[in-house]
Amino acid sequence: MISPIGWIIIWIGIFFDILGTVGLVRFPDVYNRLQASTKCVTLGTLGIMIGIFLLRGFSPMGIKALICGAFLLLTSPVAAHALMKGSLHFGTKLWKGTVVDKYGEEKLGGEQIEKESK
Amino acid sequence: MSSIIFSILAVGGFLCLYRIYRGPSIADRAVGVDIMGILFVGITALTALFYDLSFLMDLSITLTLFSFIGTLALAKYLEKRSLDD
Cα–Cα distance, A20 to B43 (Å, whole number): 15
Mean pLDDT of A40-52: 88
Q: What is the pLDDT of residues A73-87, one digit of tens each?
A: 999 889 889 888 888
ipTM of this predicted structure: 0.85
* Minimum distance, in Å, between the CA of residue B84 and any CA atom of chain A: 15
Q: Which residue did the predictor score with more confidence, B42 or A39?
A: B42
Mean pLDDT of A104-117: 71
Mean pLDDT of B27-33: 88
The phi and psi torsions of A43 (rounded to 5 degrees) equal: -105, -30
What confidence score (pLDDT) does residue B83 get?
63
Q: Give me the residue from A25, A82, A92 closest to B72, CB to CB.
A: A82
Q: What is the pLDDT of residues B44-65, one digit of tens each?
A: 999 999 998 888 999 999 999 9
Q: Is B4 exposed, middle or buried (0-12, 13-18, 19+ CB in 10 A)?
A: exposed
pLDDT at A8 over 90: yes
Q: Provide the pLDDT confidence category of residue A116 given band limits of 50, 70 and 90.
A: low
Amino acid at B75: A
Q: Give me the residue from B38, B68, B79 closest to A90, CB to CB.
A: B79
